[in-house]
Amino acid sequence: MDQSVSGDPEKTTVGIAKSETGIDGFDELTLGGLPTGRPTLVCGGAGCGKTLFASTFLIHGARALGEPGVFVTFEERPTDIVSNVASLGFALDQLVVEDKIHIEHIAIDPSEFVEIGDYDLEAIFIRLEAAVERIGAKRVVLDTIESLFAAFSNPAILRAEIRRLFDWLKERKLTTVITGERGDGAFTRQGLEEYVSDCVLLLDHRVQNQISTRRLRIVKYRGTAHGTNEYPFLIDSDGFSVLPVSALGLNHKVYDERISSGVDDLDEMLSGRGFHRGSSILISGVAGSGKSTLAASFVDAACRNGEKAAYFSFEESADQTVRNMRSVGIDLKDYIDGGRLNYFAARPTFYSLEMHLAVMLREIARLKPRIVIVDPISAFDRSGESNEVQTMLLRMVDYLKSHGVTGVFTNLTHAKGDETLTDVGLSSLMDAWILMLNREAGGEFNRELYLLKARGLQHSNQVREFIMSENGLQLRAPYLGQEGALTGSRRRAKEAEARRTEAVRAAEVARFQQQGEHRRRKLEAQIEALRAEMAAEELEARRLIDAESAYLRRAKLDEEEARAMREGVAVRKRVDGGGDGAE
Amino acid sequence: MAQNETTKLILYVAGETPKSLAAIANLERICSEHLDNRYEVQVIDLKKEPRLAREHSIVAIPTLVRQLPAPIRKIIGDLSDAEKVLVSLNVKGAQ
């Protein structure tokens, strides 16, 4: 309906042009900023950041986009405005000197004048026009035009003039921010919203459970699809930032790339290559089970790889963590000093839940780390409803996933043996879940680690013993035997026992082998002796055979000789006729 | 008291709008009828001199400023009620 009313064909086909505000998050939220050439009403109670919003919009235009702006102030003096934003690092006075921003102070003291007869506010138009023309302004801020109502007694004239002013601004295609004080039951005290039909923003500052949260809501934004949620925003030394923390849907990019957990043995459990990049990893466990240490190990691995990391701690300060992690051979100090690791420590009660999320997301957007640690998420249990915590995590996880950032969340569980129950709500958000146990057996507590789930990864189903020492973190497979899986000193005892048995057996085998060798040698010697004996016997036999054959030959010759002696003729005949030359 | 002092007035208008013209006419009438010759009137058209609107902090049109005698007084409107104007300018005693 909005679209059909406006006769502007450009608007319906191309979509409206937008002007960046330079406010972190807001431009993303509105797909580009405020409607160009149109007025936007920013309303809210006292101290909710209206003027800062307007100033940021104007300064960003002048400084970054080459769009000079006119700041019309009805309340604060120009020097106050300059000093207000100076604390946020905006050198407004410099921009004024450079004629990029013009501050027009329209001060009206009702005690100074009387009203007699008909009048209008043409002088404001003249002043505004002069200012706009002088610096070639594209942007205008009116802060707060409603204070005119306190000065003039004739609201009918004022309304007509304000309407005329808005039309005038539109006609000149000035992108305008008009601030308005929140009234009872209406957005503004004087109902300014009825004059501004294009874009209305509501800023809010609420205190709940003694924790204050600033929120921004887009009440109306013609020609732009916008969320109607309230978005938390932040005013701090970096200025004004809005955090679009709504769920972005489930269309984030997935990575096949793997990242190391910093614990080789844990990577080993995941087919030797660690977790997927961009996955969300929950480390849950009872107190003292090594959650933070394991989380720090992830950081260590990432930083060693040259990647940036962000550590959000809600329990320990940076120094404390650095010291503690040194005891397990992880030195985070260099990473912090080198700017690779950004450590943020805040008490959970410092901000509201929303605000924590907002701050975290802002820092993540600013620093672009590849891995983010939140330690622990259970710190929020007391500061919010559990479903709020879950919603917050959902947004966080969504944001991290959509940016390919690995998220590691630790969670303190209280109940013994009931670890999985309390985390049911979180489980569905997480791609991997590492359960840290601290179980008593044989009169001692031993840390154990179990990969409860790891989406899309082949992983070991074994509970491993988690050992923290100055040499780093290690996982040991427990001793598996007839008495079940054993850990700690019982494992060590059992392992020692096994080692002893093994040694005995090894000695046995060696002895057996030696005996065999002896036997073999002995038999071989015997074989050799027999062979020699046999050779001797063979020699003797040959000698006998030779002697025998020589004897036989001799005997034959002798016999032939004897026969020849008996029949001499015959022999001679045979010699003549036969040619037998042997004799 | 203020009888011998000159009343110095500046009337700010913006172009020849009905309100501006009415204010000029009303002021002329009031001055000639009530202030004899003890006045000095300057009419500034901000359309022609927009710079002065800022310098003199003018918001509404028409605005009549009594520069002298001090302190400065301002009247906004087309001055349609002569009686009120005279009261505001504190010159009624002149009659």
Q: Is the pLDDT of residue A173 over 80?
A: yes
- A chain contacts of residue B19, beta-carbon cutoff 8 Å: 118-120
**What's the number of domains chain B is made of?**
1
- The percentage of residues in chain A with a pLDDT greater than 90, rounded to a whole number, is 28
Task: Tell me whether residues B59 and A106 touch, CB distance under 8 A.
Answer: yes
pLDDT digits (tens, 9 = 90+) for A80-94: 888 888 887 788 889
Cβ-contact A299, A341 below 8 angstroms: yes
User: What is the distance in angstroms between the Cα of A34 and the nearest Cα belonging to chain B?
Assistant: 28
List beta partners, residue A18: A35
Asked whether the beta carbons of residue B53 and residue A129 sit closer than 8 angstroms, the reply is no
Cβ of A121 within 8 Å of Cβ of B61? The answer is yes
Would you tell me which residues 166-225 of chain A have a C-beta closer than 8 angstroms to some C-beta of chain B? none
Q: Residue B1: inside a domain, yes or no? A: no
Asked whether residue B21 is domain-assigned, the answer is yes
Better-scored residue on pLDDT, A49 or A358 = A49
Do the chains contact at B75 and A124, CB–CB below 8 Å? no
Q: What is the CATH number of the domain that holds B41?
A: 3.40.30.10
Q: How many CA atoms lie within 13 A of A16 on its CB side?
A: 25
Are B81 and A152 a contacting pair at CB < 8 A? no
B25-62 per-position pLDDT tens digit: 999 888 888 877 778 889 999 999 888 988 888 989 99
Residue A8 has pLDDT above 70, yes or no: no
Contact A117 B80 (CB under 8 A): yes
pLDDT for res A352: 74
Res A488: pLDDT = 77
Let me know if residue B49 belongs to a domain. Answer: yes
Residue B94 lies in a domain: no
Chain segment A320-347, per-residue pLDDT in tens: 999 989 988 888 999 999 989 999 998 8
Residue B93 maps to a domain: no
Q: How many CB atoms lie within 10 A of CB A277?
A: 18
Q: Is A121 on the interface with B (CB under 8 A)?
A: yes
Q: Which residues contact A423 (CB under 8 A, 6 or more apart)?
A: A282, A284, A411, A413, A433
* Whether A130 and B51 lie within 8 Å, measured CB to CB: yes
Contact residues on chain A for B58, CB-CB shorter than 8 A:
123, 127
Task: State how far the alpha carbon of A99 is from the alpha carbons of A95, A156, B47, in Å.
Answer: 6, 36, 23
pLDDT given for residue A424 in this prediction: 54
Nearest-angstrom CA–CA distance, A300 and A261 = 9
Residue B78 is nearest to which of A114, A117, A127, comparing CB atoms? A117
Terminus-to-terminus CA distance in chain B, angstroms? 12
Token digits for A49?
Answer: 């950041």
Task: With CB atoms and an 8 Å threshold, state whether B76 touches A124.
Answer: no
pLDDT digits (tens, 9 = 90+) for A284-293: 888 888 888 9
Q: What is the pTM of this model?
A: 0.65
Report residue B8 CA to chain centroid gap.
8
Interface test mutation site (partner B, options A74, A103, A116, max chain B beta carbons within 10 A): A116
B48, part of any domain: yes
CB pairs under 8 A between A and B: 90
The mean pLDDT value for A468-473 works out to 85
DSSP single-letter state for residue B3: G
HEC string for A451-512? EEEECCCCCCCCCEEEEEECCEEEEECCEEECCEEECHHHHHHHHHHHHHHHHHHHHHHHHH
**Sign (positive/negative) of CA torsion A26, A30, A32, A34?**
negative
Is A113 part of the contact surface with chain B (CB cutoff 8 Å)?
A: yes
What interface predicted TM-score (ipTM) does this complex get? 0.89
pLDDT at A216 over 60: yes
Per DSSP, the three-state class of A323 is helix
* Residue A174 and residue A61 in contact, taking contact as beta carbons nearer than 8 Å: no
pLDDT (tens digit, 9 = 90+) per residue, B64-95?
A: 998 888 788 889 999 888 888 888 887 654 44
Chain B positions in Cβ-Cβ contact with residue A102 (cut-off 8 Å): none
Q: Are A121 and B59 an interchain contact pair (Cβ–Cβ within 8 Å)? A: yes
Residue numbers of the domain that contains B23:
7-88
The answer for B 2-61 residues in CB contact with A (under 8 A) is: 12, 14, 17, 19, 22-23, 26, 46-47, 50-51, 53-54, 57-61
Distance from CA of B9 to the nearest CA of A (A): 14
- Name the phi and psi angles at B76, rounded to 5: -115, 150
Is B32 within 8 Å of B90 (Cβ atoms)? no
pLDDT, position A556: 93
- Note whether residue B2 is domain-resident: no
Mean pLDDT of A250-258: 74
Q: Searching chain A, which residue's CA lies closest to the CA of residue B85?
A: A116
